[in-house]
Structures are given as C-alpha cells and as structure tokens.
Amino acid sequence: MSAKEPPAKNFPLLSLPDLAQKTVMDIMKVLEKYKLSTLSKRSRKMIKMSCPLGSYQLEILASSIFICFNLSDPRENDQFDEMLILELREDDDTFPPFQEGAIVRPHQNYQETVPAEIRLLFEVFNKPVTRIFLIEHTPLIEDITRLMGVLEHKLTLVCAGTGRQNDQAFMQVMQQCNPVTKRLEMYYDINQGSTFDLTNIAPFTYDQLLISNSQWLSFPQIISHFMDCKHLHLRWFREESNGLPAFLERWMEGCAMEHVNFSIRWPIQLRMILEEMRVEHTVVDVSDYKIPNREIFKPREQPPAPPITTFIIRRRCNGQETLISQNGFQFFLSTNCRLLTEEEKLNPVEDFTDWDLSQNPFNGVMERGENFRIVGGGGGGGRVVVDQNSDSDDWGGRVDTDDSDSSGW
C-alpha cells in the first residue's frame, strides 16, 4: 500500500493489509456479539469508533440501522472519505425515509470490490444487508444490478445523482433495476422542465419505490406504469388535482398498489371527489388507526399536521377497506391499516425515524454489554480486548487505540 495514495481512493476494505482487515473484522464481530439489532429503536443511539491503520485513520459509525466505514489520511486536511455504507435490518417490511446526509460516493474501481465487501458482511453478521447506497454510479449500475440479481437477500438500492446527465442516468437505473430488485429509492436532481417518454418502457413492478424528484410525472403516467408498485412515495409531485379521480378509478378497479403518497399542486376537495365517484366512504378518526410505514408519508415540504380530511373507503374490486387522507397538498392512501387495540391506545409506541437519529448521532450508549478496546494497532494491527468485569451501563462504544489514548473522541 503506497503511502502517497490513501487506499480509500483506490480499493476499500479488501485492499488493506491483512492485519488491518483483521482489526476491522474483530470490531465488527464485537458489534455482532452485542447484537446491534437489540438497540432500542426509541433510544436513537449510535456507536462511534476509531483506530489507526498504519498511517491512516479508520472510523466506524454503527447503529441498528447501518454501518459506515470511513478511511482518511490524518496528515491531510480532507474530510473522511466514505468507503462503504450498508444498512442492516431484520425487519424487511420497513421502508424508512432515506436521509440525504447518509449517502456515499463510490470511488474509482468500486465495482471490483462491492461484491466481496457485501459478502464479507454477510459472513460476519449472518444477516441480510438490506440497503446499498450509491451516488454518481452510472458506470457501476450494470455491475450492481448483476450482483443483486444473484444474491439471495432482499436489497434496497439507494441511488442518487447530481451531474448534468441525470435525466439519462435516472431512467437507465429505473429500467435496469426493475428486474433484479423490488426496492428502489431514487434521489436525482432532475433538470427543470425534463420529461420522460414511457411509451416503450414496460410498467414498473417495484414493491417499494421512492422518487424524490417526481415533478416530471403525470397522473396518466402513474396510471400506465406505476399501478403495480405496491408502495409508491413521490416527492415534489406537482400534478393538477383534476387527474386524481382517474387515478382513484383505476385503483378501485384493481391493482397491486397498497400504499401511495404524493403532493398535488392545489388543495383538493376529497369528499366531493369521492361523492362524484359514488364511492362508499365513512369519516373516521385517524388517531384510532394503526397505519404501517406511516413515517414515510409525513409531509416533507411543510410541518406535519393531522389530516384535514380522512375517509375509510371500500374498494370496488374486492371490498377491501382503505384509509385515504388529505393534509393540505398531501394525499395518502393505505390498504394495510387497522383499528388500534385498547392496549395500543393506552401504551402508544413512539415512532422512530432515521432523521431523529441523524440529528444527534453520537450521543448514544449501548444499553447493555461489556466494554471493549482495540489495543496495539501499529502498522495496521490490533486486537479486541473485552472487559469482562465492567459493570458500567454508560458504554459509548469507544475503541481506544492504546491504554492511555482515546483518539477520535
């Protein structure tokens, strides 16, 4: 490994010396020993660790949500270069909002190590990695989609782009990912005024699809190409509300869509629309209902507020009861809702969002577990030392580089 070229700019984890790789794996195995998934979601806690790897500094951020490896040269004034960030979840049904501050920009030749990196995490944690984050990844998309096609795990691919050729890359990713993954989140700066011709494109069949910049979409395009997406979340959707009745009519006839959320350009008279469609509906108190994945449908352009209009409507195709609500410009539909039990009403569960965690990521401690330290570390080596006698409950996940120094904190 050349001293002039940080390995993070060439190859990530697998390019490190053997001892450095062992150090990282030891840290990860300790994290697994304390079961990251046992962290209370309501605690919003995170672990931060750092240790030297030769002339470089390795920083690991870990929570029950994701693990991020950063590698930097402390002799430089540059920020940490993100090497890899993967999300680990045991509940594959969750679809949390992706926070823009947690993205990673792949380095050159990244496609050569992504498969090995992901499989390495599979082996260490023995659980699925549920999300892969990529930015400016157009040259890599074929490698990533090929990898996702052969993996047996369910993966959400999170893609973002900020370059001039976003429009072409955006539709390329949308098409190529559809056959190999059922969960896709798209964060692209679509050029203002851009339009996409979907005539020769097959309808999308994602289980979960989030598009952060959907101003190019229209109701006819949603009806023709997105009705078989089970969970659809459109941000900055600015279509006129007069297209909503046609969308609801198509949905009432039968489709795979279970959840949808979008904004429209003008406030809607939802009651009037439903009455004109002769839809059987009943006004209910939304606070009495349990709505899975409701966190992803909180308005992003305005402060959250109780829905102005809420209905339970009966679907024509199968008689299924569905919650529909309107909050100003926001429209929300969910087929997977149910009345809260008396116990749930008395003991409400606090909602958890990644946003809350990202606002204060380094304040947490492990709820239980022994202290551990990384000792040694010179020349990329090191070993994990677990303090079996520690009774402290205030453990911050610190990795000490020696017996007296606690660099990185």
pLDDT at 225: 92
- The larger pLDDT score, comparing residue 222 to residue 108, is at 222
pLDDT of 226 > 90? The answer is yes
Which of 62-66, 169-173, 263-267 has the weakest average pLDDT?
Answer: 62-66
Residue 184 tokens read as 């896709």
d(CA 315, CA 20): 58
Range with top average pLDDT, 23-32, 52-61, 259-268, 394-403 = 259-268
Tally of domains within the chain: 1
In 3D space, the residue among 90, 89, 170, 171 whose CA is nearest the CA of residue 132 turns out to be 89
pLDDT at 184: 82
Determine, yes or no, domain membership for 351. no
Determine, yes or no, domain membership for 349. no
Q: Give per-residue pLDDT as tens, 171-208.
A: 877 887 787 777 888 877 777 777 888 888 899 998 88
pLDDT of 4 > 70? The answer is no
pLDDT at 130: 61
DSSP string, 309-325: EEEEEE-TTT--EEEEE
d(CA 298, CA 231): 14
Which of 34-48, 213-227, 323-337 has the weakest average pLDDT?
Answer: 34-48
Residue 368 tokens read as 């239980």
Determine, yes or no, domain membership for 223. no
Determine, yes or no, domain membership for 43. yes
At 278, is the secondary structure helix, strand, or coil? coil
Q: Give per-residue pLDDT as tens, 270-292.
A: 888 888 888 888 876 666 666 65
pLDDT at 44: 44
Determine, yes or no, domain membership for 5. yes
Integer-rounded Cα Rg, in Å, for the chain is 24
**Whole domain around residue 135: which residue ranges?**
1-194+364-409
Determine, yes or no, domain membership for 290. no
pLDDT at 365: 29
Determine, yes or no, domain membership for 241. no
Task: Name, in order, each residue with C-beta under 8 angstroms of 152's C-beta and a sequence gap of 6 or more.
Answer: none
62: left (phi over 0), alpha (psi -120 to 50) or beta: beta
Determine, yes or no, domain membership for 66. yes
